A and B are shown apart, each in its own frame.
Chain A
Amino acid sequence: MAAEYKTIVSLVRDRPGVLTRIASMFRRRNFNIISLAVGQSETKGLSRMTFVVDGDDATIDQVIKQLRKLIDVVSVEPIGDRTMVARELALIRVTATSATRSEITQIAEIFRANVIDVAPDSLIIEVTGDEDKVQSLKSLLESFGVREMIRTGRVAMERGLALDSRRNGKTTIPQA
């Protein structure tokens, strides 16, 4: 059976050790993280994390409840696949010679990816999109030689104002 991935977005207090605390909980409870992306939120003092977790409904239910138990976790919201806007960014360093450079650039254009660095024997391509798009571009570039790739993991938001209305439009900042 194919793996079941679920996306969970969480607001956490922006404090030293919070990432370790969350990662430690995942490890201790044997939950499987596919990807984890972290960055600042719209509110000072709060970061937003996007988790992609592998597991059946019961496991995801536990992941959410165990996350909510952590003192530094402010909110935890699972995002439905159908109502989700999800993106990731990848940087791909691909072998390029004067003979292949233009062909690679054309492929990048089809994917609306950007060439952000040119060297005598390679290019760096920046691509944004869902995981399938990043994967497809990588597969196409493999014939030229992918030397290095880095992906951010998924960041996700729910379409419309669903999350805002659930929070009554308020995000409070806990004071330390």
Chain B
Amino acid sequence: MKMTGAQIVFESLTREGVNVIFGIPGGAILPLYQTLPEYPNLRHILTRHEQGAAHAADGYARVTGKVGVAFGTSGPGATNLVTGIACAQMDSIPTVFITGQVGRAAIGKDAFQETDIAGITLPITKHNYLVMNASEIAYTIKEAFYLARTGRPGPVLVDIPKDVFVEQAEFEYPETVDLPHYNVQPAIKTEALKQAAALIKDAKRPLILAGHGVIISHAYNELRELAEKTGIPVITTLLGISSFPSNHPLCVGMPGMHGMAYASLAIDEADLLLGLGMRFDDRVTGDLKTFAPNAKIIHVEVDPSEINKNKHATVPLVGDLKTVLQKLLPHVQPKTHPDWVKRIDVLKKEHPPVRSIAANGMRPQAILQTLSKETKGQHVIVTGVGQHQMWAAQHSTFVNPNSFITSGGLGAMGFEVPAAMGAQVGRPDATVWSICGDGGFQMTMSELATIVENNIPVKFAIFNNGFLGMVRQWQDIFYKKSYVATNYTRNPDFVKLAEAFGMPGRRVARQEDVLPAIREAMAHNGPMLLDFMIPQEENVFPFIPAGQSTAQLMEEPVEDLAHGG
């Protein structure tokens, strides 16, 4: 059946199960948008900035496990997507970005609003395409979605020239893709499974390092079964948070730069690490030479290039984590490690996350603990990047799988507002809290307009210290408190701003107002903003400076607590 290129795009998206698109139109993509009304089942959310669309598609994909989709026009529309694309790439988020391009005849002529977006996004996409004929659209979109969601997921960009949207072509949606050299499910060698099981059997001080792969492959039950069967304590990386219940007796918490001191110290003493769907990122390992000095490593990863990239694997197991764990479980023998668990308990007692919380309720750690208590951990927390992100990771409770959404690899400030919007669209019944820093919030706060317009009931909590707080913390520690360009001396009035955008806002400056404000926001039927005025001098501890080892671990200075706001 003959169709226009634009119709073929929407027919293809429909067949891929897409029902939400985030985006902004513009000249080059207009022929696509003008066809949108023919597809009333596709919900389009018009964002205020393409970065908002990209992060929203990312947040949507993270909570649903489906492919997130965003549209942008050529040139500036496409380049505005770039931060969101890079974020999805770093955290392996299945996303498809469709951009309009100038007409075929104008390509390469520096036409109005022309950029080579396929060239620009080469290093930050899993794959990308410039589609030069309407007849190629259906297959390209089929392949794009297949690549985005299989193997190690990631962003795929499809760039389509304006005149290709109006060109007619025969539409037939392909059943399969033809990528014989793209190996999604490598064979798992029984020999390697046996070797891994033997290492687990012999280990005296084993630890599981659970990463984002557990969430991506939905291996929650398998992880839990492995931990409980073998009695191995579980450490979760930043992106692995909520892959294992944080209230489980075997849960040790997060290691690394701002991880729990006891988690990092336990890694120092471990004789076996099971890296499950994680990549030994520098924020986890610090100095690679001193990381886990006594441990053999079993590394389970879907992406072969992660094996031996940072840390040598004694036994590598390449494949989808859920499948690998299902095959590994019958080989491992039931075991317990009472002495090792006791040792970790001692480390926990000696190195509490924060020495005293009760001193002042306006401390950010206490606010987050209050929030978790109030929601009973039944929330989806979406964060920006910086101090508030680390406090949220350290002091929230996560009882449900996949309930912590954060920009881990790229560390993109401004993620929190649009990603929370996308997450709430993906999980309309969930209580979505966007934990914001005052700096990052101002990068994408224009999406509050989108949120109000579409009545997306995200609750915003700004942790407002008038600083780019994490940068200020580095200035505190490494630059003798020389606060160059980190102080927002006159932030806007976020409460009035919320009201201007059309949602209620409350300023919370006193300890006794924290709980009532959280309750009010949760009772409010729609989006609402809370502006928590937290102490400026509050820092994130523990802290292991970049590239260093646990020998350089800093814990909270006790004397600072007295003036904690």
Which residues in A have some Cβ–Cβ distance to B below 8 Å? Answer: 16-17, 20-21, 24-25, 27-28, 58, 61-62, 65-66, 68-69, 71, 73-75, 172, 174-176
* B18 on the A face (CB < 8 A): no
B180 at interface by CB-CB < 8 Å: yes
- Chain A residues in 8 Å Cβ range of B182: 71
Assess the A65–B304 pair: CB atoms within 8 A: yes
A28 proximity list for chain B (CB < 8 A) = 123
Q: Which residues of B contact A (CB under 8 A)?
A: 118-119, 122-123, 126-127, 130, 136, 139, 147, 178-182, 303-305, 307-309
Partner of B123, one of A24, A58, A65, A68: A24
Q: How far is the CB of B21 from chain A (nearest CB, A)?
A: 24
In the bound complex, residues from chain B placing their C-beta under 8 Å from that of A20 are: 119, 122
Shortest 10 CB-CB contacts between residues of A and residues of B: A65-B305, A28-B123, A24-B122, A71-B127, A74-B181, A175-B178, A172-B180, A66-B305, A65-B304, A24-B123
Partner of B181, one of A58, A73, A176: A73
Closest Cβ of chain B: how far from A132's Cβ, in Å? 33
Complex interface: chain A residues within 8 A of B181 (CB): 73-75, 174
Q: Name the B residues within 8 Å of A25 (CB-CB).
A: 123
Pairs A–B under 8 Å by Cβ, sample size 24: A17-B118, A20-B119, A24-B123, A25-B123, A61-B308, A62-B305, A62-B309, A65-B304, A65-B305, A65-B307, A68-B304, A68-B305, A69-B304, A69-B305, A71-B126, A71-B147, A71-B179, A71-B182, A73-B181, A74-B181, A174-B179, A174-B180, A175-B178, A176-B136
For residue A10, give the distance in angstroms from its CB to the closest CB of chain B: 11
5 new A-B contacts at CB < 8 Å, known A58-B308, A71-B127, A176-B136: A17-B130, A24-B123, A28-B123, A62-B305, A71-B126
Closest to A76 in B: B181
- Residues from chain B with a CB closer than 8 A to the CB of A75 are 181
Given contacts A62-B309, A66-B305, A71-B147, contact A21 B122 (CB under 8 A): yes
Q: Which B residues touch A24, using CB under 8 A?
A: 122-123
Note all chain B residues with C-beta closer than 8 A to A65: 304-305, 307
Chain A residues whose C-beta falls within 8 Å of the C-beta of B119 in the assembled complex: 20
Q: Which residues of A contact B139 (CB under 8 A)?
A: 176
CA gap between A61 and B312 in the complex, in Å: 12
Minimum CB distance partner of A71 in chain B: B127
A66 to B305, CA, bound (A): 6
Tell whether, in the assembled complex, residue B123 and residue A174 are in contact, meaning their CB atoms are under 8 Å apart.
no
- Residue numbers in B under 8 Å from A17 (CB-CB): 118, 130
Tell me the nearest residue of chain B to A17, going by C-beta: B118
**Which chain A residue shows the least CB distance to B140?**
A176
In the docked arrangement, what's the CA distance between A100 and B97, Å? 64
CB distance from B253 to the nearest CB of A (A): 31
In the assembly, what is the distance between CA of A172 and CA of B389, in Å? 48
Closest B residue by C-beta to A66: B305
Which chain A residues lie closer than 8 Å to B126 at the CB level? Answer: 71
Closest Cβ of chain B: how far from A23's Cβ, in Å?
9
The minimal Cβ–Cβ distance linking B412 to chain A, given in whole angstroms, is 18
Identify A69's interface contact among B123, B136, B303, CB under 8 A: B303
Nearest-Cβ distance from residue B318 to partner chain A, whole angstroms = 10
CA distance A17 to B181 in the complex (A): 18
CB distance from B121 to the nearest CB of A (A): 10
Bound state CA distance, A176 and B119, in angstroms?
20
Q: Which residues of A contact B130 (CB under 8 A)?
A: 16-17
Determine whether the beta carbon of B178 is less than 8 Å from that of A174: yes
A172: chain B residues within 8 A (beta carbon): 180
Given the complex of chains A and B, what is the CA–CA distance between A21 and B122 in angstroms? 7
Set of chain B residues within 8 Å of A66, measured between Cβ atoms = 305
User: Which of chain B's residues has its CB closest to A69's CB?
Assistant: B305
In angstroms, Cα B210 to Cα A173, docked, is: 39
Q: How far is the CA of A64 from the CA of B305 in the complex (A)?
A: 9
Bound CA–CA A99/B524 (angstroms): 98
- A6 → chain B, closest Cβ, in Å? 16
Contacts of A68 in B (CB 8 A): 304-305
Q: What is the bound-complex CA distance between A175 and B147, given in angstroms?
A: 16
B176 shortest CB reach to chain A, Å: 11
